[in-house]
Structure 1
Amino acid sequence: MAPDREERRQGREPRRRSVAPWVRTRLRTAPGTALAFAVLVLITAFLAAVLPRAVDAYETEGLRRDIDGASPASTVLELSAPQPGLEIPGPAREQAMRPQALAAVHRKALDRLPEPLRTDTTESAYGVRTSESLLGLDRWLPHLNAPPRFTLAAQSELARHATVRNGRLPTAAREVTEDTREVEAAATAETARVMRLRVGSVVSLGGFPGRPLAVRITGIVEPRRPEGSYWSAEPVLRTPAIAALPSNPPPFYWEAGLLLAPGAAPALLGSQGKPERYWRLAPTTGRLTAQDVPELVDRIASFEGGPGLLRMREIAGDTAEFGTDLETVVGSYAATREAITPVVAVAAFGIGAVAAVVLAMTGGLIAARRAAELALLRARGGSLRGIAGRLLAETAVVALPATAVGLLLAVLAVDEARLLPAVLGAAAVALLACAALPVRAVVSHRGPQPHGEREDLAHTRPSSRRTVAELTALVLAVGSVMALRRRGATGAGDLLVSAAPVLVGLIAALLLVRLYPLPLRWAARPAGRLRGVVGFLSLARAGRSPATGTALPLLALLMALTTAAFGGSVLAGVSDARDRAALLATGADARISSPGDAAALPAGVERAVRGVAGVRAVTAVRIERTAELSSAGKGQKESLTLIAVEPKSYAGLARQLGLGAFPADVLKGSGGVLNAVASPGVAERLGRAPRRITSLAGDVTVRVAAVRPRTPAAPGTEFLLIDAAGLERSGPTTLLATGETLDARALRAAVRGAGKGFTVTLRSEERAALSDSPLQAGAERIYAAAVASGAGYAVLALLLSFVQSAPERAALLARLRTMGLTTRQGRRLIGLEALPQALLAAGGGMTVGWATIRLLAPGIDLDRLALAAAPGLARVDGASLRTDAWSLALPAAGTVLLAGAVAAAGAWWAGRRAPIIELRAGGMR
């Protein structure tokens, strides 16, 4: 008796047999597919999560580097207040200048600074200083055109920031008042050397009522961190400087600083130095991020003239002021970031689109492999909702853990970045990965599926919905390109503009898919008349490849190639711009010159430079920046830069470097008039008539014979170039050396051995300095990663395309082999069948990449990306997006070679299997 019937006879409910869960069964059935899918999702989620974190990281590093690299005088936050007014009693005025009162205000000011303004308390200082320097009355002090002047500062915590070399630190032994006329002070070692000070020296300073102030030097100190804000917020306290009085001609004088004891500050009251109290708060960047920039600028503006200033005046007095140039530094950084971010967004859109297409292809491949299973479920009453739910569950079990691991790896890989953008990027990948298979299955099986219906490109007709979607994409692409060309990439939020290359690639892919079968049909007709069958079969099958198996792979390849071409062109344009800027900074591979190009070089310098290994040629030139042009009828002199050269060698140098090349014969003169090559501005001033030039090397008459925008000796200025033989004194002031591998250390050693005071500037060092900005380096890394990732996804798209059609191809090959097709012919058939699509993708990718760069070049500004580390550098010719042949050709050639390799591997594998195995396994195909 059956167990169920026996249980019913005994009055018990029969036990239900457990049914294996759907998800577990599917994962056990195809573990390899699940593992491959998990790896793909993990890598894609990692890239989607690490990209925003990498952008945050290099933007934060750039902000911190810019603030830390700026001078402390520009970044320090200074709260200042003038001396108490005369309406206040004398003791109260003196009390307000003493260290205890100043320290109390300092503590309150630190407490009232809001986030993200943070201070480095170790470099912050407060005290009293003379806002105007005081005249030194002693004759033994060094004089230039005028007597020296001194700034007095009673600054806090001198002992903490200085090391005493001689003597001791100043003190205020008794209570100092406004009437005190003798105080102690310390001077730095550099100040003591320049101003001839030593321990025990007494400096008399004017500007005090009654009698001068006597400042006794009690100690010579050495700053412990001279570059820090304590010493560099007011550099004159550390190092004397030459200043000029506001007159014509201006007399020059030495200005130095002396450090009083904090308790001696009341002695400065009533002086002509206009003493003021100050509290300098040194900013710290330890926790500052790029996202703090808007709030940081708002906070600074509030303290300079808003509610923040009112709060500070509550503690420092109604006349207190708050000042800093930190907003200028932050504003320069923000402007550079705003210029670079849209260019980086283009790369992010490109790689994101390729990754999305590959994920969609993966879902399509799985759906195609399980088409018979899903059709059977529908035939047995399965609903679309139920099937989609089961497929969603089995993909979510794989995709969600893989996404979580990818997100975790991204967080571990990049520190100090926001988590939310990374989570959103990984979530988008998870959503697409989970939805690709269910959506594809629902779309394919929403209606009956006739068995044996052709679905190739030659038979499928685009629906009206597809036509509308394609036209919509075309309108978006045209609009984005026009917007980018007209106003440029203006901001990171301009998504339509940033997606312009992707939209152009999408339109090109749709167009190629529509046109793809036509040339293959035309080529198949003459191939059918040939004796062999392989050529005709390969062309016929390529023209009838499945529509779903051609559009997405072609779209992925085109987007990947477009992204690679665009990214490669950006990197090439940046590199060329930096090379050009470095050349314009030096005029050759190396430049050896006297200070200001004012003194003639000894003959030994040129011989020494020629003997350095790697130096190929040396061109000597004389540069006079004080030459004068007589203005006829005005009796005035106009200054210009006169360059005297040896025509033959200098013309060769200009031709080699591409800086204003000219024939050497142009400089030949006649009748006492020298021919000259002039810059456009100088040529306009001189005209074509002979003009008289006055210079230290002699007076000459010149006539402009040629006009060139630049020349190696003075690539960034207006110039007048003549033959050195026409001057009375033609000793060179500058050497221009060329060579591929110049040894900077050996070159400087050779110049030092020939003389002192000469400057050696290398083109390679100028080039390296231009790429030192974290914003630049980070953006370049993003582009390089985008190109590499796009190439990887392109490879994966080819593999998926080949895998999707592999079963049908293997079955066909087996049938043809039973009809007499040899193994060699079968391999040729598979290879030739894959070749048209690869050639189409390669040719289309090169064309689309070239067209994209030509269309978008006017709207992409590479100046900031290329030259952000040299903000003072003028615009460089050629710092624009241009087509890079290698970026177009190499990815396209790699696509063809890879397609051939994949096809050859597939043909080899198919040839190893016996035809009967494929026919049995694929009997329904």
Structure 2
Amino acid sequence: MTVRTRVVAPWVRTRLRSAPGGAVALALLVAVTAFLAAALPLAVDRYGDAGLHRSMEVAGPARTTVQLYSASAADLLLTPEEREEQLREDPIADAHARILALPGRSLPVDREQSSYGVRTTRPLEVADPWLAMPDAVPPQFHLAAPSGLAGHTRLREGRLPKAADDVTSATAAVEAAVTAETARNLHIGVGSVLHVPAAERGPLAVRVTGIVEPRTPQGAYWSTSSVLRTPYLTTVPDDPMRSQYWVAALLLPADAAPALAATAGEPERYWMLPPDVSALHAHDLSRLTSAVASFDAGPLLQRARTAASAPVETETALDEVFAEYTGLRSAIGPLVAVAAFGTGTVAAVVLLMAGGLAADRRRAELTLLRARGASLPGLTGRLLAETTVVAVPAAALGLAAARLALTGGRLPYAAVAAGAVALLASVALPLRAVAAHRAVRVHAARDDITSARPSRRRTVAELTLLTLAVGAVVALRTRGTAQDGQGASGDELVSLAPVLVGMIAALVLVRLYPLPLRGLARPARRLRGVVGPLSLARAGRGTPGSAVLPLLALLTALTTAAFGGSVLTGVADARDRAALLTVGADARLEAASAMPSGLADKVGRVSGVDDVTPVNVALYSYPDDGRLTVPVAAVDPAGYAALTRHTDIGAVAADELKAPEGTEPLPALASPAVADRYGTRPFRVRLDGGGYLTVRIETVRERTPAIVGDEFLIVDRAGLPDPSAPPTALLLTGSHPDAAALRKAAGDAARVQLRTERFAEYIDSPLQSGAERIYTAAVAAGAGYAVLALLLTLLRAAPERAALLARLRTMGLTRAQGRRLLILESLPQALLAAVGGTITAWSAIRLLSPGIDLTTIAVSTASSPAGRAALRTDPVSLLLPALTVVALTVGIAAAQAWWTGRRGSVRELRAGDAR
């Protein structure tokens, strides 16, 4: 007898086949969320590394290269033979190989740009008469014997220098090369012989055999000590005539280094260790800083001395570069974290809401399973397997997409973020099902916010969360105020503040929401018609606990959006104000002397220029004491007054500047520093262009458009010795002046500065631009999740609403009344979220403003011409998201009423009865 066993289809396969739409929606939500979660740490690493590389490039090899050198004073006790032996290439090269291996991975070294050799520490005067002497002062030369000269140069003329078989301090002549810039500026050619003075013998003859071009002029080999590549003019110390002379370098072959021992240049051995910029990562900054400190005065320096067999010293500013970058990152990081925490919270709430929606849709199914004997652990395990099989592959797909979109960065952090999304998405449905079906039940009482009384357990949980959140916010406020906004910026509480404030507001508003509904319930019964009382009754449906998550999502999203909009607006305003104060107008033309006649009229015809204000600036004018200079600007009072009002920089009335007819002293506008120094008494000022003025300070302003700085005097140009003198500067106002046309009109007569160009220059570091892009993306993602949370909230009640409308239409309810019913039902919750979100966002911004300084992210430095850039509320960012929530709620309710009216009542009644 054959017994047939019935094969039961697996739970997961059955559920996925029966509800593929829900599985696809969950997979899409998890994939997008995992992509955003994984992309955040990758993007932070990416812009952090780019910002560090940019800081290194701006600092240049002269500051970032670790220079090790053997002090020449330590060689005084050696015999001449021992000194010559130390200066030979082989021992220096062997020491270089050992020193190069010391830092290892703690400080990656660019081996290609690394070098070693011998150089003189003092420039030597060479008095050959055929050399360039601008003020009849002989040039001075550094002598250097660097390694790898052939590999780092391209020969333009002649040949590379060679050393004799055995060069010593007694060698009378050596060969050398010079760069093309040195040759051109100092009149050196192939075959030229320079006579370098020696200490105790005749001069060392240096014959130039070749003129070379650096292969990588900006690399560390040539730019650590730029005199090797480019000569420079300097002035004679303590010379009242400020006479100038050239300082340059002669490049000897490495084997000729012993010849330098005979000179008075105090030669020393050196080893250059430039960091490999491409291998530096911002997340390794603490390790990099420790390595530099170890080279400066630590174990690595001791090992370098052992490797060189000499008392080696270190010189570098790399630690300062790292410190400057750390300061910039420390100021920007908490602001980005605010958006990340806010968006992450909203995304987590949406995932939990998606699980809750699935559990509510399957409430009858799960209730029936529990009634038929399904165990709670068994049901939980099956639901967990059902969501895991969808969430884990979707999260892996999101992680892979993030990795493809953002190369570089630390993959483990991205994997952890994507894994957290998968975990939350997997457990949301089982946890909601466990909470709803702990006890076996068949019927459940109708949920009603207005009549429900929260349990003691929920009250204790809410009070605990509320206490923790309030304590954290108070601690943040106390620290931020006590430390004047400096110490709190790095505190994690700054990042959590919007979430904490949103949590407090959500808990408080959910408790307060039933009160107005209860108060309006009795008066609403007296209204004629069914729409008002019914919509009010419908607005009170649901449990208090079910309203917390949607409200928390909306409040956090609105707070993050308002905070982000305020940050971005504040940064843009700070940059614009700093650019305006630096330029003084929308554009500025400035010349060292008088401008050509007619230039003002020519510039005034350029597209985008509305007004031109001519100014005569005398930067080095001497008041009557003759000790300190004060910049003086002569202006037309009417035009300058209009300029100050337009720019809002030290606004002044024309009457305050207008000179009296034929009398002195002239009324003057001064800065506070100048006013404190000279008071209100009349005093004479000698202009740097000749002539005298007698002025009296009558008006004081902190700033003025004509002169940038803390000291200035502004007078009426009618009081100048020559009132018709051509201006030295033109200040232009207008909407978007044409930069190319302005420069074409100015030609070589004036330098052109534009406010818009200065604005763009303040975005100096990829750390700034990357942080702003992440902030914008995070705020946009938070807004998207807020809309999704709103849709999930409305979707949760959509079947019940459709069935209700169908029943009411059979009783005579019109389509217009049905539309008003759904809108009025949704409006109280939407208004609660909008008003609560606005108040919460305003509170969070006021809370954080003492601890947030936007100056660094705005202008990439700790100080700005416009002063401290503080966080302040932006009305558009505060009100627009809230109004959008209300508009979306009303629109979705109206759309649902319209769609339900098209489908017919019979189908909806059947669907409602089935539910």
Same fold flag (TM > 0.5): yes
Contact 1:621 1:732 in 2 (8 A): yes
Q: Which structure 2 residues correspond to residues 365-376 of structure 1 after superposition, within 5 A?
A: 365-376=357-368
Q: 1:657 to 1:440 in 2, by over 3 A?
A: same
* Per-residue CA distance 1:352-382 (angstroms, 9 max, x = gap): 1101111111111111112222222222333
2:88 corresponds in structure 1 to: 98
1:203 aligns with 2:194: yes
**Cα distance in 2 for residues equivalent to 1:197 and 1:607:** 48
Aligned residue identity for 1:57: R
Given the alignment, which residue of 792, 797, 806 partners 2:784? 792
Contact 1:561 1:891 in 2 (8 A): yes
Aligned residue identity for 1:189: A
**Cα distance in 2 for residues equivalent to 1:502 and 1:433:** 20
1:876 aligns with 2:866: yes
1:723 aligns with 2:712: no
**Cα distance in 2 for residues equivalent to 1:804 and 1:184:** 88
2:887 corresponds in structure 1 to: 897
2:655 corresponds in structure 1 to: 665
Q: CA deviation at 1:545?
A: 4.2
1:589 aligns with 2:580: no
Contact 1:199 1:217 in 2 (8 A): yes
**Cα distance in 2 for residues equivalent to 1:354 and 1:424:** 18
Contact 1:339 1:491 in 2 (8 A): no
Contact 1:489 1:497 in 2 (8 A): no
Contact 1:584 1:716 in 2 (8 A): no
Given the alignment, which residue of 532, 537, 541 partners 1:535? 532
Q: CA deviation at 1:116?
A: 3.3
2:50 corresponds in structure 1 to: 61
Q: 1:494 to 1:464 in 2, by over 3 A?
A: farther
Q: CA deviation at 1:863?
A: 1.3
**Cα distance in 2 for residues equivalent to 1:146 and 1:97:** 31
Q: What is the SS of the residue equivalent to 1:922?
A: helix
1:865 corresponds in structure 2 to: 857
**Cα distance in 1 for residues equivalent to 2:846 and 2:881:** 18
Q: CA deviation at 1:710?
A: 0.8
2:705 corresponds in structure 1 to: 712
Aligned residue identity for 1:690: P
2:65 corresponds in structure 1 to: 76
Contact 2:671 2:713 in 1 (8 A): yes
1:237 aligns with 2:237: no
Given the alignment, which residue of 175, 179, 194 partners 2:166? 175
Q: CA deviation at 1:491?
A: 8.0
Q: CA deviation at 1:65?
A: 1.9
1:138 aligns with 2:111: no
Aligned residue identity for 2:741: A
**Cα distance in 2 for residues equivalent to 1:588 and 1:878:** 21
1:575 corresponds in structure 2 to: 572
Contact 1:99 1:263 in 2 (8 A): yes
Q: 1:263 to 1:318 in 2, by over 3 A?
A: closer
Q: Which structure 2 residues correspond to residues 736-747 of structure 1 after superposition, within 5 A?
A: 736-747=731-742
* Per-residue CA distance 1:838-878 (angstroms, 9 max, x = gap): 2222222222212211221111111111111xx38536336
**Cα distance in 2 for residues equivalent to 1:872 and 1:899:** 44
1:254 aligns with 2:251: no
Q: What is the SS of the residue equivalent to 2:332?
A: helix
Q: 1:87 to 1:493 in 2, by over 3 A?
A: closer
Q: What is the SS of the residue equivalent to 1:286?
A: helix
Q: What is the SS of the residue equivalent to 1:923?
A: helix
**Cα distance in 2 for residues equivalent to 1:545 and 1:420:** 42
Q: Which structure 2 residues correspond to residues 537-616 of structure 1 after superposition, within 5 A?
A: 537-595=534-592, 599-616=593-610
Q: 1:355 to 1:880 in 2, by over 3 A?
A: same
Q: What is the SS of the residue equivalent to 1:622?
A: strand
1:505 aligns with 2:497: no
Q: 1:312 to 1:437 in 2, by over 3 A?
A: same
Aligned residue identity for 1:667: L
Contact 2:853 2:870 in 1 (8 A): yes
Aligned residue identity for 1:612: V
Given the alignment, which residue of 8, 13, 18 partners 1:19? 8
1:271 corresponds in structure 2 to: 263
Q: Which range moved further: 286-295 or 714-723?
A: 714-723
Identical-residue share of aligned pairs (%): 55
Contact 2:331 2:490 in 1 (8 A): no
**Cα distance in 1 for residues equivalent to 2:199 and 2:899:** 100
Given the alignment, which residue of 362, 366, 377 partners 1:385? 377
Q: Which structure 2 residues correspond to residues 41-440 of structure 1 after superposition, within 5 A?
A: 41-83=30-72, 85-141=75-131, 142-144=133-135, 146-247=137-238, 249=240, 252-440=244-432
Aligned residue identity for 2:156: R
Contact 2:125 2:140 in 1 (8 A): yes
Contact 2:12 2:385 in 1 (8 A): yes
1:3 corresponds in structure 2 to: none
Aligned residue identity for 1:605: L
Contact 2:764 2:859 in 1 (8 A): no
Q: What is the SS of the residue equivalent to 2:457?
A: helix
Long gaps (5+) in structure 1: 1-6
Q: What is the SS of the residue equivalent to 1:166?
A: strand
**Cα distance in 1 for residues equivalent to 2:731 and 2:712:** 17
Q: Which range moved further: 554-563 or 735-744?
A: 735-744
Q: Which range moved further: 247-256 or 133-142?
A: 247-256
Q: CA deviation at 1:549?
A: 4.3
Q: 1:126 to 1:34 in 2, by over 3 A?
A: same
2:646 corresponds in structure 1 to: 656
2:755 corresponds in structure 1 to: 763
* Per-residue CA distance 1:241-265 (angstroms, 9 max, x = gap): 2234553756543211121222221
Aligned residue identity for 1:107: A
The two structures have a TM-score, normalised by structure 1, of: 0.93
Q: What is the SS of the residue equivalent to 2:627?
A: strand
Q: CA deviation at 1:220?
A: 2.4
Q: CA deviation at 1:780?
A: 0.7
Q: CA deviation at 1:146?
A: 4.1
Contact 1:342 1:490 in 2 (8 A): no
**Cα distance in 2 for residues equivalent to 1:551 and 1:356:** 13
Q: What is the SS of the residue equivalent to 2:629?
A: strand
Q: What is the SS of the residue equivalent to 2:195?
A: strand
Q: 1:537 to 1:348 in 2, by over 3 A?
A: same
Q: 1:345 to 1:504 in 2, by over 3 A?
A: same
Q: CA deviation at 1:653?
A: 1.0
Contact 1:618 1:738 in 2 (8 A): yes
Aligned residue identity for 1:620: P
Q: CA deviation at 1:98?
A: 2.3
**Cα distance in 2 for residues equivalent to 1:436 and 1:490:** 38
Q: What is the SS of the residue equivalent to 2:185?
A: helix
Contact 1:45 1:426 in 2 (8 A): yes
1:4 corresponds in structure 2 to: none
**Cα distance in 2 for residues equivalent to 1:361 and 1:46:** 19
**Cα distance in 2 for residues equivalent to 1:389 and 1:711:** 73
Q: What is the SS of the residue equivalent to 1:118?
A: coil
1:39 aligns with 2:28: yes
**Cα distance in 2 for residues equivalent to 1:55 and 1:615:** 41
* Per-residue CA distance 1:477-500 (angstroms, 9 max, x = gap): 333334434335758984333101
Aligned residue identity for 1:382: A
Q: What is the SS of the residue equivalent to 2:357?
A: helix
Q: 1:483 to 1:247 in 2, by over 3 A?
A: farther
Contact 2:145 2:251 in 1 (8 A): yes
**Cα distance in 1 for residues equivalent to 2:458 and 2:708:** 57
Q: CA deviation at 1:689?
A: 2.2
1:700 corresponds in structure 2 to: 693
Aligned residue identity for 2:599: V
Q: 1:473 to 1:286 in 2, by over 3 A?
A: same
Contact 2:855 2:864 in 1 (8 A): no
Q: 1:469 to 1:722 in 2, by over 3 A?
A: farther
1:618 aligns with 2:612: yes
2:908 corresponds in structure 1 to: 918
